[in-house]
A and B are shown apart, each in its own frame.
Chain A
Amino acid sequence: MSSAPRPYGSRAAALILLMLPVALYLLVFVYPLSSVVTLSVDNSALSGRFENLSALGTGAAPDDEAAALLADLGGMEKKQLGEVARMLNQQRSGFRSLIMSTGKEAEGITPTMAELVAFDDRWSEPGYWEIIRENAAPITWKHYQRALGITVAEDGSLSSGEDLYLQVMLRTLVITFQVTLLTLLVGYPLAYAAANASARVSTFVLAVVLLSFWTSVLVRTTAWVVLLQTNGLVNTVLVSLGLVAEPVQLIFNRFGALLAMTHVLLPFAILPMLNVMRTIPPSQADASRSLGAGPIETFLRVYFPQTLRGVAVGGGTVFILSLGFYVTPALTGGPEDQMLAWFIADFVNKTLNWGMAAALSVLLLVMVALLVAVAGLARWATARRKVEVA
């Protein structure tokens, strides 16, 4: 077998061909992604500013800590001080003024704890010290703690705190489930029609699906924004039919977000289902009917089970796309309908909190990876079962 000539080229040729793409992928895709993971636990921007304090380690005397803090704060330039104050303020409001005022006067304060408390009595609160000590370490879990709503008490025990981002994640999952279900419900009949109806109907349905698939997400979202606005077509029709007395709010709420997302993601559900349905020979249905099964029984027991693979692939695709969806919910949902992606973008664009953006990104990535792993496992299991049956 090994003596048989191989078509196309040798292993050496493969090496040369693959060198450039693999290098580029590693450099331009894998490395940036891994840097997001590092970023989510990285605290060097803060810890590097507290050199004296981090050199002290844990369990130092209060006066030593006060001296180290004053040395650190006094050594910072004004711009650095502002940056440190901003970052600490993200964890506890009030930190900004405390750091700024102490930092400006750092050289004038006698380096003992008593004098520091005398300057600003907030320094007597252990909460502020806790946060500073935590941030003197180069690696931090604070972003994950905040994202998962976990608070660490002074003795190191964990308890649940503010769970805003857990709720966002839950909301993301709920919306994703709803959208997946809706796309499958609307998509299945369409895929069925495209696979089984007469040539004219199936061509027409397929043309509509492909047109939709190729029109950009943004354009299709635009269409929904135009249709659903307060003075838009849908409201005009509803009012003129007398169904509602005055225009109703159809957009910037959950309804608008679900409607637009379902529409935008529909082709991704239809195409895999269609591919599977095309492989099912129509003669099977005829055979089932000739053996006495009615049309409904034929569909449920012969046709539908065979299409489940397509349903799973289509549903899985929609689920993964929907989990990380940004554009459509941002434009058609209200503040209460924003998903994880929106908060990631918000952290990057508004508060410049890259650590939180990275931590939420990693959590989103983990959810997607779990799903892909489950899909892979399911594929492997069905393939094995087929081998065993054979």
Chain B
Amino acid sequence: MSRVIFWSTVTFCTAFLALPLLLVWPLAFNTSSFLTYPLEGLTLDWFHQVLTQPTWVNAFLKSLKVALGAMMLALAIGGLAATGVILVPRVLQVVLTGLFLSPIVVPTVVVGVAFAYAFGRAGIGGGYFSLVLAHAVLGAPLVFLSVLTSLRGLDPNLDLAGASMGASRSYRFRTITLPLALPGFAAGAVFAFITSFDEVVVALFLADPGSTTLPIALFAGLRDRLQPSIVVVAVLLSAVSLLFLVLLRRLQMRVAAPKS
């Protein structure tokens, strides 16, 4: 009896989590422009439409450029922060970790207001650079966490062994620590990229009309009118996420591998 209840609950909950996406994706291939079942036929016309429409293509390219820039900057900030933080005394570590992780806790709307106001006053405006800077701040905590975790997992004796053989600090860092912590950096980069690529709230506050990213275009489209092109964009975004999920799994396997 309890077994039946358990399995029906799990089935229901899994369906709740998975079905919305699984049901909506096929609608991007539907011949009809009504977004419902039964499917009238399969077509790639909507994909063709989206991929040839300058608004969507430009938004996609903008998102890609912003995400790449934000990833690089977040990687630098978060990576430096993590490699520095493991060297300082315990109390300072707690304080600095709190500082470096704080962007995760602050609601994105508040971050949006803060950036829009401060960047506006500093004259950075709402263009490409301001989006990169804002998204880098949102991505840096994730890089920080990821790199910190991989650094903490290293055996400090490896570094000490290098030191005992006369290797300088920077040489040890380049040849021992960095290669071993590389999967942590890579995973952090993936996190930062996806965070920026999917980010909509801060972008809505900051971006001027010339820097519409894909999430902003999707958000605006949803408020405007439901049409197949919106579902197509959602499917494309999901595909990008899926790609990165697979990439991350690979990286995590590489983190686990060297121990064996």
Interface set of A (CB-CB < 8 Å, partner B):
5-11, 13-18, 20-22, 24-25, 28-33, 35-36, 39, 186-187, 189-190, 192-193, 197, 201, 204-205, 208-212, 214-227, 229, 231-233, 236, 263, 266, 295-296, 320, 323-324, 326-327, 331, 340-341, 344-345, 348, 354, 357-358, 361, 364-365, 368, 372
Contact = CB atoms under 8 A, between A and B. Distances in A.
Contacts of A219: 21, 198, 218, 234, 237-238, 241
Contacts of A192: 10
Given A17-B84, A358-B117, A361-B110, 13 more contacts: A16-B84, A33-B114, A36-B117, A211-B245, A215-B241, A216-B237, A225-B226, A231-B35, A236-B37, A326-B201, A327-B201, A345-B109, A368-B107
A192 to B, nearest CB: 8
Interface of B: 2, 6, 9-10, 13-14, 16-18, 20-21, 23-24, 27, 34-37, 76-78, 80-81, 83-88, 96, 99-100, 102-103, 105-119, 121, 133, 137, 140, 156-157, 159-160, 163, 169, 172-173, 177, 194, 197-198, 200-201, 204-205, 215, 218-219, 222-223, 226, 230-231, 234, 237-238, 241-242, 244-245
A32 B80 CA distance: 22
Contacts of A216: 197-198, 200, 215, 237-238, 241
Given A21-B77, A32-B115, A36-B113, A9 B173 contact: yes
A189 B13 contact: yes
A169 to B, nearest CB: 13
Nearest to B240: A216
Contacts of B114: 32-33, 35-36, 361
A372 B24 contact: no
Contact of B80 (A18, A222, A229, A231): A18
A11 to B, nearest CB: 7
B231 A341 contact: no
A51 to B, nearest CB: 23
Contacts of A365: 106-107, 110
A205 B14 contact: yes
A124 B218 CA distance: 53
A214 B117 contact: no
A102 to B, nearest CB: 31
Contacts of B116: 348
B10 A193 contact: yes
A231 B17 contact: no
Nearest to A229: B226
Nearest to B88: A14
A215 B238 contact: yes
